[in-house]
Chains A and B, each alone.
Chain A
Amino acid sequence: MEDKDVIKKLEEARLPEIETPGKKAFLRASLLEKAAQRKPFWALFFQRYVPSTVLAFAVAVMTAYVVDNMDSGSKFNRQGGMWSTYSDSQEGGDSVVWPPEPTAAGNGFIMSSPGYGSSKYAVHVTGKTGSKFGLNYNYLGFLVRFSSDTQCPVCKGVDISKYSGIRFKIKGSLPSGRLSFILPYESGECDTQKMTCKSRTDYADFEKDITTQVTGEWTTVVIDFRSGLKQPSWTPSKSAVKIEKVLQNVHLFKWQYENGNGSLADIWLAQVELF
C-alpha cells in the first residue's frame, strides 16, 4: 500500500450530505434569543468584575474610544463607518483626489502602508485643488463615518458628548492652503441623490485649522471639542448651533483641504480616538 492509497481511502470516506434542519432551526432560534438578551461586553465586564465603589473611577479612566486605529486595513472602522474622499468635482469643480471618491468606478477608498507605529495601515490621501471656484473655494477632503448607522440610508447620529475631544496622528506635505478638521452637523435624513445625510448647518460646521501641525513627521493633533472648534465666520445666523447639540448627534469626522490654483496635498492620518 502506498501513501496515495491511504489518501484515496480518506477522500472516499467523505460523508454524504447530512442535514438536521429541525435542530438547526432550534439552534438558530436559541442563538438569536441569547443574542437579543446579550449586554455589551463592557457592561458585562463591569457587572462581573468591578465593584460599584470603583466604577466611577474606572469610567473616568477608560474614556478613550478608538474611532479607527487602521489595524485592519479596511475602509470600514470597527463600527462599520466607512472612510471616503470627496472633492468639489461633485459640484462642477476641477479638484482631484485619491483614493477615488465613492462615485468613481472601482472599489473607492483604500488604506495605505505603512501605518503609524506598529500598525500596517494609515489613511493616505493625495490630491490637487482646482481653480474653477476661485482662491480658497476649491476643496478636497476625506471623512470617516462614525458607524454604519450614521450614513445613508439610516443617518442616525451618535451622542459623543461624554468625550472631551478628538486626537489623531497626522503627517504630510501641504505647500500652501489650509487643512481643517471638521465636525459636521447632519440630520437624520438621507439625501438620496448625493447619498449623504443632509447638513443641518448648510456646511457651516465646527472646525479647526490644523495646517501648521502637518509636517513630514507623525504629529499628534489634539482638539478639545468645546474650546478648540468654532463655526466659520461666515456662518449665517440660522445655521448657528451650540457645540453640545452637535456632539449629541455626530455622524462623521472630516478633514478638508482648501486652496485655489492647483495646490498639491499629501496627507497621512492614523490612530483616530476620542478622549
Chain B
Amino acid sequence: MDRDTEKKLVEESKRDPKAFGKIFEEYYTAIHRYALHRTGNAAAADDVTGETFFKALNKLSGFRWAGVPFSAWLYRIAGNEVINYFRKGAHEPAPYDINANDGSVREPASTQDIEKELLEAQEKIDNSTLYIRAKEALKTLPVKYQEVLVLRFLEDRKITQICEILGKNEGTVKSLISRGVARLKVYFEKDEDTQPLAGDGVIHNEKAKGGF
C-alpha cells in the first residue's frame, strides 16, 4: 500500500473507527506472520496480533505522521507485545469465552474450530525443522539482535524498513545485524560440533526473557 493510501485509510479510521476493519485486513497477515516468527507459537502469535490491533485502535487518535509508515508503527507495537509476552513468563491465553457476556468481546463461532486450527498451525511450526533450529539459535541472543535478524532474514524487510520499525538509524541496524550474525555463527559452529537440536517447539521462558 502506498503512503498516500495508507494515510487516507488511517485518517478515515480516526474519524470513523469502524473503518479500522480495512487497516486490519491490510496488515493482519504481515503482523501475524511477524508474531509467528518471533514467538514460534501459534496461540501466542494470535494473542500478540490481537493485542497489537487493539492497542493500535485505542491509540489511533494519538497517532501522528512523522515520516514513518503506519505499518512500521504496527510492527513496533507487535515487537513490544512479543517482549511483554515473554516477560509474563508462563503465558496463559485467556479462554475464548471469558468475555462473552460483558458486551465487549464477541464469542467466537466455534471455540473447538479455533482450537483445532491453532493445533494445526502449531504442528506446521513444529514440523519446520529449519525454523525450529533457527529459533533455538536466536533465543540465545539478546532481544535487540532477535528483532533485527527476524525482520531482515525471516521477514525479508529492507534495512530502511527496519530502521523505521525500530526507530534506529541505518548504522545501528547494520551493526546489530552484523554482530547478531557473528554470534549466531559461533552458536551454529558449536552446535554442529555437538548434536542436532531436538526442536521440540517449546519456548523456554526462563532462558529468554524478552524473546524466544
Contact = CB atoms under 8 A, between A and B. Distances in A.
B14 to A, nearest CB: 7
B117 A35 contact: no
Interface stretch (B79-87, B101-109, B160-168): B101-109
Interface residues of A, number: 46
B108 A1 contact: no
A105 interface: no
A238 interface: no
B53 interface: yes
B172 interface: no
Interface string B8-30: 10011011011011001100100
Contact of B109 (A26, A30, A33): A26
A3 B42 contact: no
A13 B118 CA distance: 20
B105 A15 contact: no
Contacts of B65: 71-72
Contact of A15 (B17, B46, B124, B153): B124
B15 A3 contact: no
A9 B130 contact: yes
A15 B113 contact: no
Contacts, number: 152
B182 A3 contact: yes
Interface residues of B, number: 61
B176 interface: no
B104 A78 contact: no
Given A1-B188, A27-B49, A32-B18, A21 B106 contact: no
B62 to A, nearest CB: 7
Contacts of A79: 11, 15
Grouping DSSP codes into helix (H, G, I), strand (E, B) and loop, the A interface class, with mixed when no group exceeds half, is helix
Interface stretch (A36-44, A91-99, A212-220): A36-44
A21 B108 CA distance: 12
Contact of B15 (A18, A19, A147): A147
Contact of B24 (A11, A22, A28): A28
Given A9-B130, A20-B46, A41 B62 contact: yes
Contact of A6 (B11, B14, B156, B184): B184
Given A24-B28, A72-B65, A19 B131 contact: no
A19 to B, nearest CB: 7
Contacts of A55: none
25 contacts: A1-B185, A3-B181, A5-B188, A6-B188, A11-B153, A13-B135, A14-B156, A16-B124, A18-B42, A22-B108, A22-B113, A23-B46, A27-B24, A28-B21, A31-B20, A31-B53, A32-B20, A35-B21, A35-B57, A38-B57, A76-B7, A76-B8, A79-B15, A80-B15, A147-B15
Interface of A: 1-3, 5-7, 9-16, 18-38, 40-41, 71-72, 74, 76, 78-80, 147-148
